[in-house]
Amino acid sequence: MHFKLLIALVEDSKTDVVVDAARKAGATGATVLNSARGAGLEASKTFFGLSLETQRDMIIFVVEEHLSRTILETIEAVGKFDASHGSGIAFQIDVEDAVGLSHQAQCLSQVVEKEI
């Protein structure tokens, strides 16, 4: 079984919605890192030298490769990333090797067989 690493950077107000939607689309779990910061195409607005950035979270999923595109598209749709700039980003990376996923692999084997 092969896996992909999905990383989503979202506004903290969307984190729970994105995680729930990803789980419904086939993700077996998630790790959320709070207080992520980044710089986009346009500079952040400031008010008297104070940044007006919204709080961001990084959500990390390790998912089976046959489910990864569906989960990625679900994250984008629920997070409305293409609705306006700065609303979020998600991407996937190949996982060369992983340990500690045997329980997920057992649960996913039946689901993946239906996808193939």
What pLDDT sits at residue 38? 66
pTM: 0.79
SS3 32: strand
Nearest residue to 9 (alpha-carbon basis) of 41, 42, 43, 32? 32
Model pLDDT for residues 19-53, shown as the tens digit of each residue: 999 999 999 889 999 987 766 556 556 666 665 56
What pLDDT sits at residue 86? 75
- 84: domain CATH number is 3.30.70.120
Cβ neighbors of 89 (< 8 A, separation 6 or more) are 8, 9, 81
Model pLDDT for residues 63-83, shown as the tens digit of each residue: 989 899 999 999 999 999 888
SS3 104: helix
Cβ neighbors of 43 (< 8 A, separation 6 or more) are none
- Residue 26 is part of which domain span? 3-115
How many domains would you assign to the chain?
1
What pLDDT sits at residue 45? 61
